Structure 1
Amino acid sequence: MQRLAEFGWRLLPFIAAITIWYLVRWSGLVDQGLLPPPHAVFVEIWRRSLDGGFLLDAWMSVRRVLLGLFFGMLLAVPVGFLIGWNRGVRRFVDPLVNFFRALPPIALIPLVIVYLGIGEVAKVAILFYAAFFAGVIVMYEGMSQINPLFVRVARTLGATDWEIFYKVIIPLTIPHVLTATRVALGVAWATLVASELVAAQNGIGAVIQNASAFFQLTTIYAGIVTIGFFALLMDSVLRAITRNFLNWQDRVAQ
């Protein structure tokens, strides 16, 4: 019963959003021709999924996001760790990181095409850029707030440098890695449509771009809802992983 109630609370915001969607459409505030009803959008998703093409588009987009996120975090974690742990490095690198972080990935598309072409590498590179700078910011901000007292206490108790790194620093770093990954995942999904501007023949972003050329609003909304669904699904998986990894903090707090 408790799980059923929790599931109901999770569904409630979506029910409210769909209700507001219908109310706005029926209120006359927006021309009904410019705002397709939710049921038409879901029918469009179902229809496109049956022919298999939409599922392929969704898979290509998920694949690109996962690759961009993986390679972005693979670099963001050690770089963020180094910047956050070493004040001298942080003073030197922080302005540079914030400079590039402020650049929208879509502005880099012409340069990406020039240097990397229009293949999959170019699309993943844009997502890598977005994920890396989002992840590295969260990582080094989190690392810079870790209390060095933990390290001093461990050293006082006779721990070696390896034991300090393995038993103190890594457990304190894991929450920041997981938080940075969640933030980077959201930014990567937000950048997906921009990355698929690079001559993409498939992908949800490409579906939205093609639909916009023919003013197919229902298809555009279907693509937007699909992106939101997969972003929410992947974020939920990360949250579950986070809870499992951080159980030790709850035990310590008790």
Structure 2
Amino acid sequence: MQKRSAGSARRSMFSDFGWALLPFVFLVSFWVLLRESGLINPTLLPSPLAVSKVFWANLTEGELLANIRMSVQRVVLGLLLGMLVAVPVGFLVGWYKPVRRFVDPLINFFRALPPIALIPLVIVYLGIGEVAKIAILFYASFFAAVIVMYEGMTQISPVYIRVARTLGATDFEIFTKVMLPMTVPHMLTALRVALGVAWATLVASELVAAQQGLGAMIQNASAFFDLGTIYLGIICIGALALGMDLLLRRISKRLVAWQDKVEG
């Protein structure tokens, strides 16, 4: 029985991997067909093979790994700082209606501002060092996460709170034993949303005089019309964001498995 279950698990894993790989096969095929169709000048659209050669050259002789490490470091730090502030603010706004009425317009106002528009002010107040880059990623992560957090809290059924009060629970017990566990899925969703926004903001953050990073690599390549390196940078950002998101999905499934059992 154990051998059968292990075999079926292995087949399921390969099947999932195949389905995940299939869209990218179609994407690369479309890329090749578009280049060979003559609709676009071939000099303006490097082939997948040419990009793979650029990848290998940057990996073995260039600074690709250093750029990846620097970008991941910035994204993770900005994301963690943003979540560190967004979670308590989301709880506060979601728990107290007067606070929500006061803060909601401000949050939506700043959330609508693109981080790239704030770069001149960030440079004026924070300079051009790492702090400025992290601040832009923090800004993007915080406002993306806090919206998901407090919107999720407001959607929790008040029945749970009323039942807890009927059983004599205090506000602290309701918060720690009812609200906190039920907001774990929303925290994880907020983390995933903030992660995507942070990666989308990376290039903007690295406009601030960055010497290393995937965004800096793309900008330097654009100055020399090096399309292969530009495509490589874009693919690396997408691949890293996808990999981190898949990791968060797996963690989320384990952490909220209890919720599926309760609903079932």
Q: TM-score, with normalisation over the residues of structure 1? A: 0.97
- Counterparts in 2 of 1:19-58, with a 5 A limit? 19-51=29-61, 53-58=63-68
Alpha carbons of structure 1 residues 73 and 190: separation in structure 2 relative to 1, 3 Å: same
Aligned to 2:189: 179
Q: Which letter maps to 2:80?
A: F
Q: Which letter maps to 2:255?
A: F
Aligned to 2:210: 200
Structure 2: tracts of 5 or more residues without a match: 1-10
Which of 217, 234, 237 does residue 227 from structure 1 map onto? 237
Check if 1:148 corresponds to 2:155.
no
Q: Which letter maps to 2:48?
A: P
Structure 1: tracts of 5 or more residues without a match: none
Q: Report the 3-state secondary structure (helix = DSSP H, G, I; strand = E; otherwise coil) of the residue aligned with 1:176.
A: helix
Aligned residues: 254
Post-superposition offset of 1:165: 2.1
Which of 52, 57, 69 does residue 59 from structure 1 map onto? 69
Check if 1:133 corresponds to 2:143.
yes
Q: Deviations over 1:94-126 (max 9, x none)?
A: 111111111111111111111111100000000
- Counterparts in 2 of 1:62-211, with a 5 A limit? 62-211=72-221
Q: Deviations over 1:51-109 (max 9, x none)?
A: 36110000000000001000001001111111122211111111111111111111111
Q: Which letter maps to 1:76?
A: A
Post-superposition offset of 1:160: 3.6
Post-superposition offset of 1:154: 1.5
* Percent of pairs with identical residues: 66
Aligned partners of 1:162 and 1:122: how far apart in 2?
38
Q: Deviations over 1:140-181 (max 9, x none)?
A: 111111111101112212334333222211111111110011
Post-superposition offset of 1:247: 0.3
Post-superposition offset of 1:12: 0.5
Q: Which letter maps to 2:235?
A: V
